[in-house]
Amino acid sequence: MSPQQVGTKRIMINLAAAAAVLLALNLSAADDRPDLGVMNRVRFEGLKHSQVGKTVAYLSDVIGPRPTGSPEIDRANRWAAAKMKEWGLENVALESYEDFGVGWAPRYVSAHLLAPHYAPLIAISVEWGSSTKGRITAAPVYVDIRSKSDFPRYKGKLGGRIVLYQPPKSVPTHFTPDARRHDAASLAALHETPVSASEPPDPDYTRSFDDDLEDFFRAEGVGVLVSSSGNARREYGTVTARGVRQARDPKRARPLPEIILAAEHYNRVHRIIEEFKEPATMEVEVRTEFYDRDPRGYNVVGEIRGTDKADEVVMLGGHIDSWSPGTGAADDAAGCAVSLEAVRILKALGIRPRRTVRVVLWSAEEKGWVGSKAYVERHFGDTTTMALKPEHAKVAGYFNYDNGSGRIRGIYAQSNAAVKPIFEAWLEPFHDLGATEVVMRDTGGSDHGALDYIGLPACQFIQDPLDYGTRVHHTNMDVFDHVSVEDLMQASVVMAAFVYNTAMREERLPRKPLPDPMSYPVRR
């Protein structure tokens, strides 16, 4: 064969290979082309007969804040399970996991400035903080303690006192709106996948100066601690929740009573007593409850049983626990409501999925993905060894909703290139609703991470930010009035469509290579 013939043959082989690849891609795209008839029915049910607003309102307005271990989350779990049964789900259960630790709930917080003038103060209890010994009326004192060497200056002076122990924080004026939607530029920016070296997990808890300071205040018999909520975009009376480190450990002494004041109110009291040296009087009372009887936490699980592939599962969910200062409406009653609404839509349409659809409302996400990590360990495997359990092979995919109540604009592929064309095909029927983007980058901070770390195809949707990060997230403003019900209706439709398409396709969603063994990141 002449060199010219050899070259021609190579070209023909390469063209044939390229044609085969294109054919495979076209066949794959055809296989994942959504059933538009079903998509129309999903849209109609989700947009015309939606229950998502009622669901998020009941979880937030009626049941209220839901710290894991509190009676309120127990009520939320039972209510959600009952709702699943009402809508026809099977195998509904409160699935327990051990060793959550001490439960806690706030019961009463009152803070007032009595002199040199009267003012009600916006205050919340620090999470897992203790009760005061009744109502404390006293002159507030500010302590400037930066190291253990400062302790002697205050020794014997703080018994029963109202103690401000943080420097004041500035409250800037902002000239941009709190809320925004993604525009073309911000969506395009999400397609730029950051490349960085992997970081080791956070270290386990170690003793720090905070522990020394707590021990000093305890030994001094402080009446109540007062801290400031001030940080970026947390002005206008917005108070951000904060928990006490290691407070759930039943072997540790109960944390001291502590209130967090709105930055403007903390700064006012600080200026009165420090800058002007005027005598002042405050009145503070905190009542909280600790729960020691049942150390377990619970995830709420329900299913739509599949047909010919019933042993494989498609999962969806959000977290049912919340922080305590607001009502946990956007974070994450919204995600629970979207997940429940998605399965309600499928049941209302009488759809019989090939795979089993399993909705899970996770517990203790706010305390470090405790519920989802425990579920992964029980059902799927050990991330520290990557020793997998049989159920791991049966998961077709997981979809998570936990970034406020903003409408879905697309989905993060979590660096899984193989799902990108599949998801792009699934989004096409919803471009008119604003859901258009599939980006390769990872996103973290929620329960899908627990499944992603064990190598499962687990994704979080891209959502319009609204005022979630600027005003609502973990604050006393996380209430129903900051939830966009119209956006949740759209999100429920897209969630239902993705779950349906995953349940019906011939193969499970493709997976990334199994990660290296690792410990979960620790969130505090």
Where exactly are the structural domains of the chain?
A: 34-100+296-504, 103-291
**Structure-block tokens of residue 497:** 């469509």
User: What does the pLDDT read at residue 408?
Assistant: 98
Q: Report domain 103-291's class.
A: alpha beta
Question: 12-26, 169-183, 225-239, 322-336: lowest mean pLDDT where?
Answer: 12-26
Question: 235-244, 247-256, 281-290, 294-303: lowest mean pLDDT where?
Answer: 247-256
Please report, as a single letter, which amino acid is at residue 309: K
Residue 146 scores a pLDDT above 80: yes
DSSP string, 173-235: ---S-S-B---HHHHHHHTS----PPPPPPPPP---HHHHHHHHHHHHTBSEEEEE---TT--
> Which residues, including other chains, have CB under 8 Å from residue 338's CB and lie 6 or more apart?
52, 318, 401, 488, 491, 492, 495
For residues 132 and 111, give the distance between their C-alpha atoms in angstroms, rounded to a whole number.
Answer: 12
pLDDT in tens, 204-248: 556 789 889 999 999 999 999 999 997 766 788 999 998 876 666
Instruction: Tell me the CATH architecture of domain 34-100+296-504.
Output: 3-Layer(aba) Sandwich (3.40)
Q: Measuring CA to CA, how many Å separate 58 from each of 35, 54, 61, 325, 422?
A: 34, 6, 5, 17, 35
User: What does the pLDDT read at residue 237?
Assistant: 92
Q: Measuring CA to CA, how many Å separate 414 from each of 200, 220, 441, 448, 512?
A: 18, 50, 5, 10, 9
Cβ atoms of 81 and 93 within 8 Å: the answer is yes
For residues 273 and 285, give the distance between their C-alpha atoms in angstroms, rounded to a whole number.
Answer: 21
Residue 26 scores a pLDDT above 80: no
Residue 56 scores a pLDDT above 90: yes
For 502, counting Cβ atoms within 10 Å of its Cβ (0-12 exposed, 13-18 middle, 19+ buried), the class is buried
Residue 521 scores a pLDDT above 70: no
**pTM, rounded to two decimals:** 0.91
* Percent share of the chain, pLDDT over 90: 79
Model confidence at 263, pLDDT cuts 50, 70, 90, reads: very high
